């Protein structure tokens, strides 16, 4: 180990880039997507013409991605949009109460941009981070896709997600998460990550990106250079990763490298995580680091697309940078093209003015601003943002049925049987007489609808009550002597109740995790463990079907559960075809059709 670290670093980079970027053999056979082709002379000329006509204020506006207040257009908002002319807008839950109203809002926003239309973005990752709940496919989230392990399914998820988003007026999705979830204690990534395996994250992420972009929705890979191994939440304070650049290259960067190549990722969002290993021990956040954004991403990874910051209002960053305005200037100097500010208009004005001042004082060159604006316009041109107003419409019955079928298929394929001692699952009428089932109402209701000859006692989770307390009250008031206990876990809070039930009833227990697979590590005494990695309605419905033997579990564990199960671990059981669940038994609204 006597090699100079810098030399070693360069060798590792050279190896990685050799694998990844040279020569175009890997790409030549595939149909070339819009942003792999170089722009034509005419397109480049068009971008130059737009840039020449823009004032410095307009250019800086293009580099701002911001949120808005309220649910509809009003004079103050109109004034703000005309003054700043932001390059992108992000919509949050507080901007809408229904899909119909959201479509109306988005239509009115586009009308305020006669010259250069904005990116209109939302965080619609699926699973835990789902902003729009109606008129959209309910996707189970990345880790469920990781368990299904299918490139084709991830691509279809991206296509249908893109179709639903563009029908609402969106041309950008702040997804997918390309972080590798390597740390079981990670409070902010977890099931938002596809897997703990870098290659799987890269492949499924690229497929989802290709699907989204085939429907005219620009994907945003996040959080560069990888937020998956942190145990802190950057919304609250700055997490620190003590990785060397060599470790980063060998792991965290792989999904980004893959997504740039295979997924033609156009936009990468930075992480507010400190990497002292790259900065002589100083805790500089990636978002403000020239080394991370320019040296590594721009130069060594030859990334040509847009670098966008995560929200500058997050406490993790402000703690380091002081004000959002100061952070904006530092981020652009580090190499960011778009700064993201989700705060009141005043903060946006301040950031815009700070950037203008920095250019006027020669702190940031005009050439540097032009380069960013050209990157932003190039992506807008490739994906039709400059040319087409979106076609905004409500989905018809046939589309909704397709959304429903895909949603069901994704949940089914993700269900992973991790443990099944003495074949306690599936729960058939032949094996058991009585069952005690505990879980969210969707799970319990679906289980009951399939009750057959079973005698079922049930306990449904209630808002505002700890699961532990609910279970204890129930056992005080009811005689419970089942042959088997089934508990659906949503989070760590539900595990205490499951442990109590196992100890008190001393009966076989089957656990279904509708959340993190790491919950299983806390209750190793359960006899059966089924993971769905997602707390959606559909995950509950599918889990109940599988526990009752209507469908076989086919997923593979997308992460390693330390000390218990390796990545890729899976079990299954065969089911008799006669009982196999038919789609026709369920109506798209999730109610059971009469049988």
Q: Is 353 annotated as catalytic?
A: no
8-state DSSP, 274: B
Question: Cα(223)–Cα(239) distance, rounded to whole angstroms?
Answer: 13
Question: Cα(30)–Cα(225) distance, rounded to whole angstroms?
Answer: 27
Kindly report the number of other CB atoms within 10 A of residue 93's CB atom.
11
Residue 462's Cα: distance from chain center in Å? 27
Bin 162: left if φ > 0, else alpha if -120 < ψ < 50, else beta: alpha
Give just the sign of the alpha carbon dihedral 591, 139, 67, 83.
negative
- Of 123, 310, 337, 545, the catalytic one is 310
Look up residue 569 and give its two tokens. Answer: 């671990």
Question: Cα(157)–Cα(165) distance, rounded to whole angstroms?
Answer: 12
Q: Which long-range contacts (CB under 8 A, 24 or more apart) does 36-42 make?
A: 36/264, 39/378, 39/381, 39/382
Q: What are the CA-CA distances from residue 451 to residues 89, 480, 549, 576 (Å)? A: 49, 18, 11, 17
Burial (Cβ within 10 Å: 0-12, 13-18, ≥19) of residue 82:
exposed
Q: Is 310 annotated as catalytic?
A: yes
- Contact predicate 128/136, CB 8 Å: no
State the residue for tokens 């032949």. 430
**Could you tell me how many residues make up the chain?**
595
**Secondary structure, 3-state, 12-57:** HHHHHHHHHHCCCHHHHCCCCCCCCCCCCHHHHHHHHHHHHHCCHH
- Of 58, 233, 235, 279, the catalytic one is 235
Kindly report the number of other CB atoms within 10 A of residue 459's CB atom.
21
Nearest to 190 by CA among 548, 517, 589, 573: 517
- Contact predicate 489/513, CB 8 Å: yes
Strand, helix or coil at 488?
strand
Nearest to 147 by CA among 209, 189, 204: 204
Which are the catalytic amino acids? 235, 310
């Amino acid at each position: 180990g006597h090699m100079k670290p810098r030399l070693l670093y360069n060798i590792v980079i050279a190896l990685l880039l050799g694998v990844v970027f040279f020569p175009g053999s890997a790409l030549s056979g595939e149909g070339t997507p819009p942003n792999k082709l170089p722009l034509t002379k005419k397109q480049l000329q068009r971008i130059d013409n737009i840039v020449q006509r823009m004032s410095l204020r307009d250019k800086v506006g293009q580099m701002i991605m911001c949120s808005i207040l309220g649910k509809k257009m009003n004079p103050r908002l109109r004034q703000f949009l005309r003054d700043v002319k932001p390059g992108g807008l992000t919509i949050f839950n507080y901007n809408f109460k229904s899909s119909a109203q959201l479509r109306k809002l988005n239509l009115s926003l586009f009308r305020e941009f006669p010259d250069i239309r904005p990116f209109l973005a939302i965080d619609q990752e699926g699973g835990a981070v789902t902003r729009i709940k109606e008129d959209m496919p309910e996707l189970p989230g990345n880790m469920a896709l990781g368990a299904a392990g299918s490139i084709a399914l991830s691509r279809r998820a991206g296509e249908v997600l893109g179709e639903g988003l563009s029908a609402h007026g969106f041309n950008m999705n702040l997804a997918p998460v390309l972080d590798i979830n390597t740390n079981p204690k990670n409070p902010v990534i977890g099931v938002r990550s596809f897997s703990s395996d870098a290659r799987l994250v890269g492949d499924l992420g690229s497929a989802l990106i290709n699907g989204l972009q085939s429907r005219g929705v620009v994907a945003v890979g996040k959080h560069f250079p990888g937020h998956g191994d942190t145990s802190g939440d950057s919304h609250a304070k700055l997490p620190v990763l003590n990785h060397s650049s060599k470790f980063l290259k060998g792991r965290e960067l792989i999904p980004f490298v893959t997504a740039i190549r295979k997924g033609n990722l156009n936009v990468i969002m930075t992480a507010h995580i400190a990497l002292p290993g790259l900065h002589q021990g100083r805790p500089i956040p990636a978002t403000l680091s020239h080394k991370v954004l320019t040296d590594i991403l721009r130069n060594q990874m030859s990334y040509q697309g847009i670098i966008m910051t995560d929200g500058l209002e997050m406490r993790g960053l402000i703690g380091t940078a002081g004000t959002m305005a100061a952070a904006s200037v530092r981020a652009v100097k580090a190499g960011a093209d778009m700064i993201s500010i989700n705060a009141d208009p005043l903060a946006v004005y301040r950031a815009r003015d700070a950037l203008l001042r920095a250019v006027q004082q020669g702190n940031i060159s005009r050439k540097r601003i032009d380069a960013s604006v050209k990157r932003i316009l190039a992506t807008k041109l490739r994906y039709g943002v400059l040319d087409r107003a979106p076609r905004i419409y409500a989905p018809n019955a046939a589309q909704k049925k397709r959304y429903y079928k895909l949603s069901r298929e994704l949940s089914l394929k993700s269900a992973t049987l991790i443990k099944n001692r003495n074949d306690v699952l599936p729960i058939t009428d032949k094996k058991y007489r009585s069952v005690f089932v505990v879980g969210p109402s969707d799970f319990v209701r679906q289980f009951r609808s399939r009750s057959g000859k079973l005698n079922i006692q049930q306990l449904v989770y209630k808002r505002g009550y700890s699961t532990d307390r609910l279970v204890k009250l129930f056992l005080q008031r009811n005689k419970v002597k089942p042959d088997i206990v089934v508990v659906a876990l949503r989070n760590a809070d539900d595990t205490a109740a499951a442990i109590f039930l196992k100890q008190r009833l001393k009966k076989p227990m089957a656990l279904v995790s509708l959340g993190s697979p790491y919950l299983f590590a806390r209750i190793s005494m359960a006899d059966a463990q089924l993971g769905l990695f997602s707390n959606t309605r559909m995950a509950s419905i599918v889990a109940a079907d599988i526990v009752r033997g209507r469908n076989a579990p086919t997923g593979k564990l997308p992460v390693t559960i330390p000390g218990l199960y390796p990545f890729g671990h899976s079990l299954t059981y065969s089911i008799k075809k006669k009982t196999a669940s038919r789609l026709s038994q369920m109506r798209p609204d999730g109610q059971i059709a009469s049988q």
